[in-house]
Chain A
């Protein structure tokens, strides 16, 4: 049975898109068919990591939401592993006009859900990953409402804590079946187990992983998929473990 997983954070730049892309590849390397949907319509970005040229995007999520095309026409195969593992990407439009239009008129949750359900059955998707826009706007709440699992990313930064606490509570009210925290960009000098304990206590939510701050990740600067470039890196192992836990 397929799973829908939202990757979210209250503030921007926490590493949502990087985590989503790496998780997708990690799952595909385990032989799963994965679809990544960029619902960050205001500031799309995940296509960069998969090196998908905006010129090669014929239809985007925006086109589907306005009824211009079928959902499967928006899916771009961006990663292949052996005969089974695949990552498809449904990008958001890069055109400013398209972005403004969605912001103005919004879209309907029913439509979004149909899109998700169709893509899952048409492409026999095992895991659908949703990269979201930060904050708690209406579109983000929709993605969360449609998810089986919510992964909330935060940094060990006082600015992230308050919003994360609110997000956890709101997600709980919306009755997401499974919810995890992932702490990203954690300096090495922080004690791992202690950090996990503190976060679990403060947010009353299980911490799925602590990803260290990594110079290699900074240097890669989203120009590729970390787990492919550094297959033996501790972060790669950690992401693999997140993938396992999410599958349950």
Chain B
């Protein structure tokens, strides 16, 4: 075990996993929020765009998106994000993880928005707030609580789904695990170590989620 740690950059791989997760979580949150706003907007065309986005990315396997990015966009269409092969794969992984999970972030936010009674939006509009103001002042603050549980699930899934980036050669945790297994043979303790790493990364999120939803409770 010690030897393996000495010969392979496991810490570096875990760091890659964390980078992938954090960057993709930011991307997914930004894109997901925008798509959620599209989906609740009063303009039918915008709603259509939002719905199409969600249906496309939620229903395509992440592995397919990953492979399509590097093999399809990068090699066939020549869409290189970075010169360096590894860097290019890393950033494509961030983009695909962001897009894929944005669909889930959008639906989490929307389910939160759906927990807010319709009367709240009507009251907001009837005092003259614009669509944007109603959303920012009345709807979103009340919808976060309902959105927390599904959001936390989405971020936990995202952290674990970073391992899919291994299929396009990103040297994150699953990638290095595959390499080690190939070279040294599999070992149960090794698998346990990697499983534990993911538990350590995801567990605090669950705890944070529970505390937040308690704190943000809106009394009705």
Same complex for A and B? Answer no
Residues of B within 8 A of A (CB): none
